[in-house]
Structure 1
Amino acid sequence: MTPEHLDAVAQATWPPAAMQTVGPWTIRDGQDGGKRVSAATARQPVTADKLPLAEDAMQALGQTPLFMVRHGDDALDTMLGDAGYQVIDPVNIYAAPLANLAKPPPHATTFTIWEPLAIQLDMWVAGGIGPSRIKVMQRATMPKTSVFARDGQRPAATGFAAIHDGTAMVHALEVTPSCRRRGMGRHVMQKAAIWAQDHGASHIAALCTQDNAGANALYASLGMALVGQYHYRIQHKAQTT
């Protein structure tokens, strides 16, 4: 469960619309699917004179220049900081063996479904996960599923899981506000783990921003280890009055 392995899993299970190589950079066409599918990354050590190559390529796609800074990218991080790029959305990476989580949730509360139900799409939209991010799920080509949880008869939670290289990654976990603190997120993760185990995976992983207290507490309570971190840098633009 190295950061490099989990980065590859995240890339495969939450894919951009397209990628291109521009000099030392990988440029992603995110099509409004969020930071992970839109951020540029360095394929090799870079110097400040190569920065405009990435900036121009992202602007040509209609995207604000945005960079992902991963494990080992210390020199890139310093260079971007010196160029006026500010840190945004630091992310924690959690992982665990499936055996830690693959415990059946209460009977008839949680289901794996593909394609997602209309109610799941509505839940995602209410949580800020709109059509462009649903298209990211649809682009994933490996074994995948959505997970739907009910609290009694109420729609309670939804998530998306896909498998790459033996690891299932859960994305877009959303619990409706009225059903929070009732174990619904735990049920989704347990069901995703059982599904992943049935499809030959050995580990499960998840990402969440460091300021998402609820998600960090959930993954820690499930016995998932904090195995890596990354962050983004976006150019600061001076405010005018």
Structure 2
Amino acid sequence: MEFSAAGRLEVRITAADVGKRVSVRRLTDPGVTEGKFTDTVGVLTSWDDGVLVITRKSGDSVRIDASSLVAGKVVPPAPARRRGPAASFEELSRIAARAWRPVESERLGDWELRAASGFTRRANSVLPLGDPGLPLDAALDAVRRWYAERGLPAYAQTATGAEGTQELLCGELERRGWVREVTAELWIGALAPLADVAAPDAGASVSSAPSVVLARSADEAWLSRYQRKGVSEVALKVLGSGPSVWFATVPGASGEAPAAIGRCVVDGRWAGFAAVEVDPAWRRRGLATAVMAALARRALDEGASAAWLQVEADNAGARALYGRLGLGAHHAYHHYREPREASS
């Protein structure tokens, strides 16, 4: 916190600092001069009518009465990752988008409108990178019309928590009544350690590495393990989209669904992992690790050197696995749904 020459805390931020990363301290109970303090760090997304809104790295917004502030200052951007490949959120957003293509898309300036008959929010949301070529309200109106014409609710995919991310856009969406429905994180790491990892995991009960079969398309066996039910023709197109797609399968018992599956898309230096799923009866035997290792080796053969994947914040098991494999969070991403009255 900032101190004055007399050694007292000072508030050194104003409404002119909207869009900057700040650190503030406030009284938990503004009516008690000797009360407890709460510190908040994030991007100042608005300051209106005596109320500040600060968006944290997670995407959560904190409303703060300016009268409760006891200190505040502008702070440098969050320090960059010290390990793993260097990448901007925009590069990763575009890489992730190419790995999960819609069946229909259209440009709105630099924004991409994406639709796939409602199969996943990622393939049915606008990716607002850059300038839409219109004022924000007009752009959002155009987005809502485009999705309404296809019988779909309008979603916007945004990012927070890294240099250059979209905290201001998130704040503007929330001010207009858009609701954040889903938050996840995009994790990255070096690819070679994934390919070299031993399978099964230490302490596993199987005596040899499981057999992993790789294929260019998702067959009936793979789809029988995939968690999304009722996979349609549209879904198959999305699953098969991407520059270089591979599907991994660990066969199960005779006549049964696979014990484990996974999907990988190789795109230049990046290999993106998804749909890593294991039969509950086969968990904790290293199958997820084996699937990722096999896919990583294939990606290395195609010239990739970096890995990425997406994981939801409440998936503790997956996060623990990916952490052990050397990956870590780069930024959070969110799907905002248009106000309900706009889609009714």
Secondary structure of the 1:37 match is coil
In 1, Cα distance between equivalents of 2:247 and 2:102: 19
User: Residues 139 and 148 of structure 1: is their aligned pair in 2 closer, same or farther, counting only changes over 3 Å?
Assistant: same
Q: Deviations over 1:123-156 (max 9, x none)?
A: 11x454823433212233x222101124676621
8 A Cα contact 1:127 1:174, kept in partner: no
- For 2:106 and 2:228, how far apart are their aligned partners in 1? 31
Match of 1:59 among 144, 148, 157: 148
Amino acid at match of 1:146: F
Match of 1:172 in 2: 275
Question: Which structure's relative contact order is higher, taking Cα pairs within 8 Å and 6+ residues apart?
Answer: 1
Taking the aligned partners of 2:119 and 2:194, their CA distance within structure 1 comes to 29
TM-score (norm 2): 0.63
The one-letter amino acid paired with 1:112 is: L
Shift of residue 66 of structure 1?
0.6
Match status 1:143 vs 2:241: no
Tell me, yes or no, if structure 1 residue 20 matches structure 2 residue 106: yes
> CA 1:147 to 1:178, structure 2 compared with 1: closer, same or farther past 3 Å?
same
**Secondary structure at 2:340's aligned position in 1?**
coil
SS in 2 for 1:196: helix
Correspondence list, 1:221-236, <5 A:
221-236=324-339
1:53 maps to amino acid: A
Q: CA deviation at 1:2?
A: 2.4
More helix by share: 1
2:131 to 35, 44, 52: 44
Q: How far apart in 1 are the matches of 2:211 and 2:110?
A: 48
Q: How do 1:180-199 residues align onto structure 2 when only pairs under 5 Å count?
A: 180-199=283-302
Which structure has the bigger radius of gyration? 2
Letter in 2 for 1:123: R
Say how many residue pairs are matched. 236
Is 2:268–2:303's contact at 8 Å kept on the other side of the alignment? no
Distance verdict in 2 for CA 1:212–1:133, change over 3 Å: farther
- What is the match of residue 115 of structure 1? 217
- 2:170 aligned with 1:77, yes or no? yes
1:17-61 deviation line (CA, Å, top 9, x unaligned): 121123564211222321111111223275234321111111112
What is the TM-score when the length of structure 1 is the normalising length?
Answer: 0.88
How far the C-alpha of 1:201 sits from its partner, in A, is 0.6
- In structure 2, the CA distance between the partners of 1:101 and 1:60, relative to structure 1 (3 Å rule), is same
Residues 9 and 165 in structure 1, CA contact (< 8 A), matched pair in contact too: no
SS of residue matched to 2:195: coil
Displacement, 1:3? 1.8
Whether the aligned pair in 2 keeps the contact of 1:17 and 1:139 (CA below 8 Å) is no
The range that moved more, 229-238 or 27-36, is 229-238
- Contact kept, 8 Å, 2:209 with 2:290, in 1: the verdict is no
Percent same amino acid among aligned pairs? 23
Q: Please say if residues 9 and 163 of structure 1, whose CA atoms lie closer than 8 Å, have aligned partners that are also in contact.
A: no
Q: 3-state DSSP class of the match of 1:139?
A: coil
Structure 1 unaligned blocks of 5 or more? none
Is the contact made by 2:144 and 2:338 (CA closer than 8 Å) also made in structure 1? no
Corresponding residue to 2:319 among 213, 216, 219:
216
| Deviating more after overlay: 229-238 vs 187-196 | 229-238
